[in-house]
Amino acid sequence: MIALKQPVPSNCGDCPIRNRAVCAHCDHDELVALEEIKYYRSFEAGQTIIWSGDKMNFVGSVVSGIATLTQTMEDGRTQMVGLLLPSDFVGRPGRDGAAYDVVATTDIVMCCFRKAPFEELMSKTPHIAHRLLQMTLDELDAAREWMLVLGRKTAREKIASLLSIIARRDASLAATTSGGGKVFDLPLTREAMADYLGLTLETVSRQMSALKKDGVILLEGKRHVTIPDMQRLLEEAGDDSDGGFLT
Amino acid sequence: MIALKQPVPSNCGDCPIRNRAVCAHCDHDELVALEEIKYYRSFEAGQTIIWSGDKMNFVGSVVSGIATLTQTMEDGRTQMVGLLLPSDFVGRPGRDGAAYDVVATTDIVMCCFRKAPFEELMSKTPHIAHRLLQMTLDELDAAREWMLVLGRKTAREKIASLLSIIARRDASLAATTSGGGKVFDLPLTREAMADYLGLTLETVSRQMSALKKDGVILLEGKRHVTIPDMQRLLEEAGDDSDGGFLT
DNA sequence: CGCTCAGTTGAGTCTTGTCAACCACAGTGG
DNA sequence: CCACTGTGGTTGACAAGACTCAACTGAGCG
Helix and strand numbers, DSSP H then E, in chain B: 7, 12
pLDDT digits (tens, 9 = 90+) for A76-121: 999 999 999 999 999 999 899 999 999 999 999 999 999 999 999 9
- CATH architecture of structural domain B154-236: Orthogonal Bundle (1.10)
Nucleotide with C1' nearest the B203 CA: C16
B144: confidence class by pLDDT, cuts 50, 70, 90: very high
Yes or no: say if B163 and B227 are a contact pair by the CB < 8 Å rule. Answer: yes
- CA of B64 vs chain A CAs: smallest distance (Å): 24
pLDDT at A177: 62
B49: confidence class by pLDDT, cuts 50, 70, 90: very high
The more confidently predicted of residues B230 and A174 is B230
- Count the neighbouring beta carbons within 10 Å of the beta carbon of residue B28: 9
b/e sequence B54-87, b meaning 16+ C-beta within 10 Å = eebebbbbbbbbbbbbbbeeeeebbbbbbbbbbb
B66: confidence class by pLDDT, cuts 50, 70, 90: very high
Q: Is the pLDDT of residue B128 over 50?
A: yes
End-to-end CA distance of chain A: 43
The Cα angle at residue B106 between residues B102 and B112, in degrees rounded to 5: 50
CB contact under 8 A, A71 and B146: no
Shortest CB distance from B141 goes to which of A99, A144, A198?
A99
Q: Extract long-range pairs of B207-210: CB within 8 Å, 24+ residues apart.
A: B207/B155, B207/B156, B207/B158, B207/B159, B208/B159, B210/B156
- Count the neighbouring beta carbons within 10 Å of the beta carbon of residue A188: 20
pLDDT at A8: 73
**Bridge partner list, A59:** A113
> By a Cβ cutoff of 8 Å, what residues of chain B touch chain A?
69, 71, 73-75, 77-79, 81-82, 92, 94, 99-100, 123, 126, 129-130, 132-134, 136-137, 139-141, 143-148, 150-152, 197-198, 238, 240, 243-244
CA of A223 to C1' of C1 (A): 28
The more confidently predicted of residues A85 and B4 is A85
Instruction: Return chain B residues 175..194 having CB < 7 Å to nucleic acid strand D.
Output: 189-191
CA of B198 to C1' of D3 (A): 39
Per-residue flag: B198 CB under 7 A of strand D: no
SS (H, E, C) chain A: CCCCCCCCCCCHHHCCCCCCCHHHHCCHHHHHHHHHHEEEEEECCCCEEECCCCECCEEEEEEECCEEEEEECCCCCEEEEEEECCCCEECCCCCCECCCEEEECCCEEEEEEEHHHHHHHHHHCHHHHHHHHHHHHHHHHHHHHHHHHHHHCCHHHHHHHHHHHHHHHHHHCCCEEECCEEEEECCCCHHHHHHHHCCCHHHHHHHHHHHHHCCCCEEECCCEEEECCHHHHHHHCCCCCCCCCCC
Which are the contacts of A229, defined by CB distance < 8 A and separation ≥ 6?
Answer: A180, A181, A216
Q: Where are the domains of chain A?
A: 12-150, 154-236
CATH 3.30.1330.10 for domain A12-150, yes or no, is no
Q: What is the mean pLDDT of residues A147-155?
A: 98
D strand bases under 7 Å from protein CB: 8-13, 17-22
Residues of A in contact with B84 (CB under 8 A): none
- Count the neighbouring beta carbons within 10 Å of the beta carbon of residue A44: 12
d(CA A69, CA A100): 6
A124: confidence class by pLDDT, cuts 50, 70, 90: confident
pLDDT at B55: 95
Q: What is the mean pLDDT of residues B1-30?
A: 79
Instruction: Return chain B residues 211..230 having CB < 7 Å to nucleic acid strand D.
Output: 219, 222-223
Burial class (CB in 10 A: 0-12, 13-18, 19+), A179: exposed
Helix (H), strand (E) at residue B167: helix B155-172
pLDDT at B89: 97
Interface test with A, best of B92, B120, B134, B152 (most A CBs within 10 A): B152
Identify the weakest region by mean pLDDT among A93-97, A112-116, A214-218, B151-155. Answer: A93-97
* pLDDT, chain B, mean: 89
CB contact under 8 A, B73 and A148: yes
